[in-house]
């Protein structure tokens, strides 16, 4: 690390800085620094979760909250999400593991990779009944 620090700026982040509350405070500080009364927050996946937490902490600062593929905002809903995912995945895990441990998949053959990805998405994504 000292070799790297001799020629580059090195910033070490410990567990005390990698906390949801710290990220929410950082977002609020950035909003204030730029002088924005309200912001539009666009979040994908984990940043969507962060956006929800920010909106709950600072509702007066949110103009629009746009979420894409975000996890649920509460611990209870998050647990339900994983229960539902397991319920959908469990019956298919043996077949998916078989594909993903095949010599072709490991060698990088795109056909088993495509089959695995397509199968996974068909299981996880909820398609409306027609």
Q: ∠ at Cα 121 (100, 42), nearest 5°?
A: 120
Domain of 31, in residue numbers: 1-71
Same domain, yes or no: 60 and 108: no
Q: Which of 55, 71, 87 is the last residue of a domain?
A: 71
Same domain, yes or no: 58 and 104: no
Same domain, yes or no: 38 and 93: no
Same domain, yes or no: 53 and 93: no
Cα separation, 93 vs 73, whole angstroms:
27
Span 82-108, pLDDT tens digits: 788 788 888 888 888 898 899 998 888
Span 49-80, pLDDT tens digits: 899 999 999 999 999 999 998 877 777 877 88
Going by DSSP bridges, is the β-strand pair 62-68/39-44 parallel, antiparallel, or unpaired? Answer: parallel
Cα separation, 36 vs 118, whole angstroms:
43
Per-residue confidence (pLDDT) for residue 88, from 0 to 100: 82
Per-residue confidence (pLDDT) for residue 34, from 0 to 100: 96
Same domain, yes or no: 7 and 64: yes
Same domain, yes or no: 79 and 44: no
Per-residue confidence (pLDDT) for residue 103, from 0 to 100: 92
The rounded percent of the chain whose pLDDT value lies above 70 is 85
What are the tokens at 29? 């500080």
Cα separation, 113 vs 121, whole angstroms:
12
Per-residue confidence (pLDDT) for residue 122, from 0 to 100: 77
Per-residue confidence (pLDDT) for residue 42, from 0 to 100: 95
What are the tokens at 20? 């949801």
Q: Which of 28, 48, 71 is the last residue of a domain?
A: 71
In DSSP notation, 22-83 reads: HHHHHHHHHHHHHT-SSEEEEEETHHHHHHHHHHHH-GGGEEEEEEESPPPSSHHHHHHHHH
Same domain, yes or no: 89 and 52: no
Q: Which of 21, 50, 71 is the last residue of a domain?
A: 71
Number of domains in the chain: 2
């Amino acid at each position: 690390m000292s070799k790297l620090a001799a020629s580059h700026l090195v910033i070490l982040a410990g567990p005390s800085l990698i906390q949801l509350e710290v990220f929410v405070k950082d977002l609020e500080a950035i909003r204030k620094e730029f002088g924005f009364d309200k912001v539009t927050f666009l979040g994908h996946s984990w940043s969507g979760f962060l956006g929800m937490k920010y909106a709950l902490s600072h509702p007066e600062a949110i103009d629009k909250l746009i979420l894409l593929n975000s996890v649920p905002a509460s611990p209870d809903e998050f647990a339900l999400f994983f229960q539902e995912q397991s319920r959908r995945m469990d019956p298919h895990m043996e077949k998916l593991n078989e594909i993903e441990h095949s010599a072709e998949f490991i060698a990088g053959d795109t056909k088993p990779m495509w089959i695995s990805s397509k199968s996974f998405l068909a299981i996880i994504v909820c398609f409306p009944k027609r």
